[in-house]
Amino acid sequence: MYHQGIAQIRQELGDASVSTDEDDIEEHGYSEWSTSNSSVRPKAVVRPTSTQDVARIVKICSRYRIPMVPYGAGSSVEGNFSSTHPGVCIDLSLMDKIVEFHPDDLDVTVQAGVNWTQLNESNELKASGLFLPLDPSPTAQIGGMIATNCSGTNAMRYGTMKDYVLSLTIVLADGSIIKTRRRPRKTSAGYNLNGLFTGSEGTLGIITEATLKLAVVPSDYSVATATFLTVKDAADAASKMIRKGINLAACELMDDEQMKVINKSGGVGGKMWEELPTLFLKFSGSQQNIEDSVRLAKSVSSSSKCQTFLSAKKKEDMDSLWSARKQALWACLAARPEGTEIWSTDVAVPISRMAQMIEESKNDAMQMGLFSSVLGHVGDGNFHQMIMYDPKRPSDVANVKGFINGMMHKALEMEGTVSVRRRTIVVPEICSALIRKQGEHGIGIGKKVSRRPLMECQRHMMK
Amino acid sequence: MYHQGIAQIRQELGDASVSTDEDDIEEHGYSEWSTSNSSVRPKAVVRPTSTQDVARIVKICSRYRIPMVPYGAGSSVEGNFSSTHPGVCIDLSLMDKIVEFHPDDLDVTVQAGVNWTQLNESNELKASGLFLPLDPSPTAQIGGMIATNCSGTNAMRYGTMKDYVLSLTIVLADGSIIKTRRRPRKTSAGYNLNGLFTGSEGTLGIITEATLKLAVVPSDYSVATATFLTVKDAADAASKMIRKGINLAACELMDDEQMKVINKSGGVGGKMWEELPTLFLKFSGSQQNIEDSVRLAKSVSSSSKCQTFLSAKKKEDMDSLWSARKQALWACLAARPEGTEIWSTDVAVPISRMAQMIEESKNDAMQMGLFSSVLGHVGDGNFHQMIMYDPKRPSDVANVKGFINGMMHKALEMEGTVSVRRRTIVVPEICSALIRKQGEHGIGIGKKVSRRPLMECQRHMMK
């Protein structure tokens, strides 16, 4: 069955489009970035170069009942591209053309395999003063960014991927091709298919082309950091800034442990950092606007017992101040003792509950003897607690599992949404989280549950 | 069948919840605001006061196969609440409670029948400095606003209704109750059901409760107007402002004819207006930010041969400058000759094509001897051409139909989206517009087409 189908794809698309090379297959089946990998590998990797190619592949797979998994950059962290059954991996990275660019309409049409950093660095976009304001993994491709509804630190100012999709070309499971909309920005008619396919993680169809809104590159930007005695003070300051409507482009929190990790890894940005809970703030707009906002942010910080407020005026100072935030994950990886792994949690709660949630989670981890550091997208009420543990020590593993379960219960009590890893012990009343109540990392295979617990969750949610 | 079902609703919900009063039924079946009314009337109007009530009504209707139409304020303009078959009108206006308000999380949970102006004027919201930044009809209710994905002049700055929905409680066709999400702002897991139900116009379920994001009331705002010799100059100026990323809260265009109509109706804002194509601009933010933006907008306008640029500093001057925009529709209604009707078109094109689209449509109307005026949401590429005609004169009716058909063809050639009235002659290649390519007014019954032309449109769209 596989053989026949794959042979037919080879026949229709040409030998070069189909790979059964072992290394190629391994690369498309496993990622050391991902928290969830399956043991299954695809039987072949196919590389279409057009929507029509994808449609032909899908028609063949459909006829021979061969499972299909679309693949972009493979940078997701939840096994979103892992195969659950042996089948065909459809790698869209050769579909990397900018199809149409309309600077006066602030939109661009691209194939799914276009990389967002290359798009923003392209001569056309550079010259136009426009950009796509998302910032997921630098390697990410547009198709995967839409399929996972990606975000990043810019989300506070610019929103997430769903806010930039004007139209999609999609190949459905039977190989038919649909286009969701035309180019105009405004429309209020018909079902919002863009919104439905964005974040659907390849389960409804394969995105092959997208027309995206672009934003105007701000004329200036600036960066500031503010340190506080406690996480609560830092979160309070962030909350006040948001409530006052201060024009923030990003608002990120790192706790004292995370700052220690930064220093432990040798410091970044050419300096050692105060080991206190720290807010990283970005501002953008006109120079006057930025100065206003920085002044307001400083005054709000003072009212929450800010220890040191640093704001950058020169480009290199900005990069230096932001570097600690940018390199947080690398610092964690570099600083962990030999043999340990990092378990990254992904919880979101209403903004007002964030300080309490972080403080209690830190205490819980400490009481269990687990080392953890915190990185928060405060503007969204979403944070990651990085827990270092030794997967070979049963007591470590048990502690982590116990901790994660406790954290999820706490988040749900605070009307929050949680995200867990597959091997976590799942208790029925919290699995709803697996399907519809999560942070920012998507589902992938890591958080998929069977139908039964899902129904139990539904009942739990309605309480 | 009707009788049994209605009797059972009466029995379960109490006599006061069910009305078969003729006037009440007529009010829920016909609206002089709407461009599309059906001749069908509901058999009864029922008034639930809770989600549970709605579920009970729906279960009964489902059992007896009685058609249901949810009803809010009845302010939509496309017959969105009209009955296509005699059945039950479910009027949600008694469900007008603010359920929960979380000022620190910038969100509010309300029942579907809450009126948005009353919500914004409520003591709780007033005191918090937060507001729901949509502005559809002042009478509109939250349920209908979500069901139609409403917008208004604030859309340029704040987006449309879909951008404010955090969670929905919905009664499905079988009477089961679902809740789409919890309260956190961020989530990237599971299908985006909020996006699917928003704009679905009651076809997927009845929205009974919603948790909505709120925005911070800007510390200051200001208004300016700029007049130009031609619509093209005005649209060019608007386009340049958008491309430069000037911080505009609203950007509306009225053509020379529309300004004449304003003067003809006696003038508004206590003055007579220049009868030239005019941009109406709103700015909001900090005072410094506004001054910057006004200065930039003025300089851009000059470069497009602006005739007069007026900016307001005092509250009463702002209101006066904005009044012409605010009262445009009333002025049209007041100025039309006895016996004439107004046919309002609803077209959106990519922003760069807007000037050409408006100019050609104005010329076409003039050549057909039709009087028309133009009102444009320039920031979105969406505009309405108001055509006055005498529905009793066959030549007028034929001209209007011919004009609308020509306009739709033109919009589609410009990659635009169109919206038509049911009695318009529909040619197959443009009916796709009826379903998925439209301006801002939604579908209602006015733009519904049968399945066959829809499939023809699909083919046309893929060309």
DSSP string, A23-34: HHHHHTT--TT-
From chain B, pick out residues whose CB is under 8 angstroms from the CB of A381. Answer: 105, 184-186
How much of chain A exceeds pLDDT 90, in percent? 48
Distance of CA A110 to the CA centre of its chain: 21
pLDDT tens digit string along B353-372?
A: 888 899 999 999 989 888 88
Residues of A within 8 A of B151 (CB-CB) are: 186, 188
Neighboring chain A residues of B185 at a CB cutoff of 8 Å: 348, 350-351, 380-381
Interface test with B, best of A146, A180, A187 (most B CBs within 10 A): A187
pLDDT > 90: percent of chain B: 48
Res A277 pLDDT > 50: yes
State the nearest Cα–Cα gap between A36 and chain B, in angstroms: 16
Mean pLDDT of A340-349: 82
Half-sphere exposure of A323 (CA within 13 A, CB side): 19
The whole-angstrom distance between residue A322's C-alpha and the CA centroid of its chain comes to 19
Classified as helix, coil or strand, A111 is: strand
Mean pLDDT along residues B220-227:
94
CB A85 within 8 A of CB A67: yes
Among A177, A416, A458, beta carbon nearest to B182: A416
In the prediction, which pLDDT does B458 show? 40
SS3 A249: coil
| A353-366 tens-digit pLDDT | 888 899 999 999 98
Measured between beta carbons, the chain B residues lying within 8 angstroms of A434 are 189
Query: CA–CA separation, B26 vs B21, rounded Å?
Result: 9
Residues in chain A closer than 8 A to B150 (CB atoms): 188
Q: Which residues of A touch B107 (CB under 8 A)?
A: 350
> What Rg, from alpha-carbon coordinates, does chain A have?
23
Task: Give the confidence band of A456 by pLDDT, cuts at 50, 70, 90.
Answer: very low
ipTM over 0.85: no
* pLDDT band at residue A187 using 50, 70 and 90 as cut-offs: low
Assess whether pLDDT exceeds 50 at residue B188.
Answer: yes
Range in A34-43, A76-85, A143-152, A419-428 with the lowest mean pLDDT:
A419-428
Token pair of B169 as six digits:
């409680």
Query: Which residues have CB under 8 Å from B398's CB, separation 6+?
Result: none
Average pLDDT over residues B159-180: 94
Inspect the interface and report whether the beta carbons of B192 and A195 lie closer than 8 Å. yes
Q: pLDDT digit string (tens) for B282-315?
A: 999 888 889 989 999 999 999 999 999 999 988 8
Question: Would you say B13 and B88 are in contact if contact means Cβ atoms under 8 Å apart?
Answer: no
CB A112 within 8 Å of CB A71: no
Helix axes B354-367, B231-243, angle to 10 degrees: 160
Nearest-Cα distance to chain A for B267, in Å, is 31
Residues 6 or more apart whose Cβ sits within 8 Å of residue A390: A339, A340, A341, A396
Using CB atoms, pick whichever of A198, A348, A443 lies closest to residue B186. Answer: A348
In this prediction, residue B426 carries a pLDDT of: 28
Nearest CA in chain B to A176: B462
Q: Closest to A105 (Cβ–Cβ): which among B351, B377, B435?
A: B351
Under 8 Å between Cβ of A211 and A166: yes
- For the ranges A21-25, A206-210, A430-434, B436-440, the lowest mean pLDDT is seen at A430-434
In the predicted model, what is the mean pLDDT of chain B? 85
Of the candidates B106, B219, B415, the beta carbon closest to that of A182 is on: B415
Closest-CA distance, B461 to chain A, in angstroms, reads 8
CA dihedral A89→A95→A96→A98, nearest 10 degrees, is: -150
Tens-digit pLDDT profile for residues A87-103: 999 999 999 999 999 99
Nearest residue of A to residue B202, measured between CA atoms: A191
Question: Cβ B184–A103 below 8 Å, yes or no?
Answer: no
The Cα–Cα gap between A262 and A323 comes to 10
pLDDT at B461 over 50: no
Q: Which residues contact A380 (CB under 8 A, 6 or more apart)?
A: A151, A155, A156, A348, A351, A440, B184, B185, B186
Contact B417 A195 (CB under 8 A): no
Residue B285 to residue A288, Cβ atoms within 8 A? no
| Band of residue B60 on the pLDDT scale cut at 50, 70, 90 | very high
Q: Which of A186, A189, A436 has its CB closest to that of B189? A: A436
Answer yes or no: do B179 and A380 touch at CB < 8 A.
no
Q: Which of B106, B151, B219 sits opposite A188 (nearest CB)?
A: B151
Chain A residues within 8 A of B216 when measuring between CB atoms: 242-245
pLDDT of residue B376: 86
Contact (CB, 8 A) for A95 and A50: yes
- Which has the closest alpha carbon to B158: B120, B215, B115, B200? B215
pLDDT recorded at residue A146: 96
- Residue B450, pLDDT > 50, answer no
Give me the sheet containing A88-91, strands edge to edge: A18-19, A44-46, A88-91, A68-71
B300 contacts in A (CB within 8 Å)? none
Residue A440 has a pLDDT of 60
Residue B460 has a pLDDT of 41
Q: Mind telling me how many Å the CA of B422 is from chain A's nearest CA?
A: 15
pLDDT tens for each residue of B117-144 = 999 999 999 999 999 999 888 899 999 9
Residue A266's pLDDT band (cuts 50, 70, 90): confident
Is the CB of residue A279 less than 8 Å from the CB of residue A237? yes
The predicted structure's pLDDT at residue B338: 82
Q: Which residues of B touch A411 (CB under 8 A)?
A: none
Question: Which comes out higher in pLDDT, residue B223 or A443?
Answer: B223
What is the rounded CA–CA span in Å between residue B409 and residue B415?
10
Per-residue pLDDT band at A434 (split at 50, 70, 90):
very low
Rounded CA separation A155/A132 (Å) = 12
What mean pLDDT comes out for the span A348-356?
86
Collapsing DSSP to helix, strand or coil, A325 comes out as: helix
Residues A451-458, mean pLDDT to the nearest whole number: 38
Q: In terms of CA atoms, which chain A residue is nearest residue B463?
A: A179
The span from the CA of B191 to the CA of A155, in Å, is 19
Q: Examine the pLDDT at A333 and tell me if it is beyond 70.
A: yes
Write phi, then psi, for B397 (nearest 5 degrees). -60, -45
Number of inter-chain CB pairs under 8 A, A vs B = 255
Model confidence at B453, in pLDDT bands (50, 70, 90)?
Answer: very low
Length of chain B, in residues: 463
**pLDDT top residue among A456 and A274:** A274
B192 and A190 within 8 Å at the Cβ level: the answer is: no
Contacts of B179 in chain A (CB under 8 A): 461-462
The residue among A77, A97, A8 whose CA lies nearest residue A44 is A8
How far apart are alpha carbons B144 and B74 in whole angstroms? 8
Instruction: State how far Cα A109 lies from the chain centre.
Output: 22
Question: Scanning every residue of chain B, which has its alpha carbon at the shortest distance from the alpha carbon of A193?
Answer: B196
Cβ distance of A196 and B199 shorter than 8 Å = no
Among A97-111, B4-18, B391-405, name the one with the lowest average pLDDT.
B391-405
A34-63 residue pLDDT tens: 667 788 899 999 999 999 999 999 999 999
Comparing B448 with A430, which gets the higher pLDDT?
B448
Gap between the Cα atoms of A167 and B339, Å rounded: 42
Nearest to B104 among A182, A198, A239 (CB): A239
Render pLDDT for A220-241 as a digit per residue (tens, 0 to 9). 899 999 999 999 999 999 989 9
Do the chains contact at A382 and B186, CB–CB below 8 Å?
Answer: yes
pTM (two decimals): 0.85
Residues of A in contact with B191 (CB under 8 A): 196, 199-200
How high is the pLDDT of residue A355? 87
Least confident of A87-91, A147-151, B172-176, B348-352: B348-352
Q: Scanning every residue of chain A, which has its alpha carbon at the shortest distance from the alpha carbon of B106?
A: A243
Q: Do A245 and B190 touch (CB under 8 A)?
A: no
Chain-chain contact of B415 with A184 (C-beta, under 8 angstroms): yes
Question: Residue B418 pLDDT more than 50?
Answer: yes
What residues are paired with B98 via a beta bridge? B110
Q: Per the CB < 8 Å rule, is A188 touching B199?
A: yes
